[in-house]
Amino acid sequence: MESPAPAAARISIIGAGPGGLTCARILQRHGIPVTVHDRDPHPRARDQGGTLDLHADDGQLALREAGLLDAFFGLARPEGQEMRQLDPAGHLLAHHVPAEGELFKPEIDRGQLRDLLLGSLEPGTVRWGHTVEKVSEAAADGSRRIRFADGTTVETDLVIGADGAFSRVRAAVSSAVPLYTGISFLEAWFQDVEQAHPELSALVGQGGAAAADGERGLFAQRNSGDHIRVYIIQRLPADWIAANGLSVGDTAGIRAWLLDAFAGWAPSMMRMISENDGPYVDRPLYALPVPHRWEHAPGVTLLGDAAHLMPPLGVGANLAMLDACELALALAGAATVDEAVRRYESVMVPRSEGMARMLEGGAEGLIERHER
């Protein structure tokens, strides 16, 4: 098998999230053609989620290589680094206020970050409405065929799976599937918080506020646009909503169930589950088995959650963007695609394995009770 030079290769990224778009941007900066395929019909098809912090030692490094770091700082919220630890009675247990000029991990809305990355790409880079059904076995020359749900196919020299937790590309290199962690998130949205929810605004501050009692917890996070998202965290079966005779659309029924589950919490804290605007969003937490590694295979590799899905403890997007940066730079500096992928995987797999071991079971920490 003779692997092609990256600049002459057909490179297909699956997934237009932070990792996939970062990889595409850096490849294009180095003159390497790339196409991104995403299942969404268009970039505004669904909510991109809340805010995230990009760290100086990974996410920001990737944005520097992408030539977008200054633009990121123009959008980011350093004040979002504020963090409050509360108890169920609403008492302040710990409080971090970022120092003047502190920029280690400023917050940015996921939608803003995606728009920044999308806007940096050459027109036509992203092909929307392309849901992957299967990635073929490698041909004699190492190339792959991607089959999409609409029946179309693409021949490519490298498939980069940046398609998240339930990646369709992963099956080409690994039989691993995500497992439920035992911890479930329920997301609640609050709009126009300064006017409509002033007590919640004051409680949360400019960043985040968390509280837990050992079985359940609340994490409130300020977003831009006068918006707060609350994550209601519970140790429950993944199907707890249906098991209790409810449905995701039954906002009143879920709210009543939650008010009973959180009985005894202070009224100021209960606002986070009783005054939300609109329905709840069910987000059970999954993680890949640890360790997750695979034998190198020609014509395919993974990055981000597709490679190393972990509990949501502040590393996911940052690691995805670091993966993307290192893979793109490896392709820019190698003689062949296969050489670049081997170089990338030799660093990414052990790094992510070490992080996954450190965070294994970490979802339980989200409901750990803190004392004065």
From 356, 361, 359, select the one nearest 293 (Cα to Cα): 356
**Does residue 311 have a cis peptide bond before it, meaning omega lies within 30 degrees of 0?**
no
> Angle, to 10 degrees, between the axis of helix 18-29 and the axis of helix 110-120?
30
Measured CA to CA, the distance from residue 10 to residue 32 in angstroms comes to: 9
> Does the annotation flag 305 for ligand binding?
yes
Measured CA to CA, the distance from residue 77 to residue 175 in angstroms comes to: 40
Q: Which two tokens stand for residue 335?
A: 């003689």
Q: How far is CA 294 from CA 121, 163, 269, in A?
A: 31, 17, 45
CB 128 within 8 A of CB 42: yes
CA dihedral 313, 315, 316, 319 (to 10 degrees): -170
> Does the annotation flag 70 for ligand binding?
no
Measured CA to CA, the distance from residue 163 to residue 259 in angstroms comes to: 36
Count the residues in the chain. 372
Taking the CA atoms of 154, 155, 156 and 160 in sequence, report the sign of the dihedral they define.
Answer: positive
Beta carbons within 8 Å of 155's beta carbon, 6+ residues apart: 10, 143, 144, 145
CB 189 within 8 A of CB 227: yes
> Does the annotation flag 53 for ligand binding?
yes
CB 262 within 8 A of CB 230: no
Can you say which residues are annotated as belonging to the binding site?
Answer: 46, 53, 110, 305
Can you say which residues are annotated as belonging to the binding site for NADPH?
Answer: 46
Can you say which residues are annotated as belonging to the binding site for FAD?
Answer: 53, 110, 305
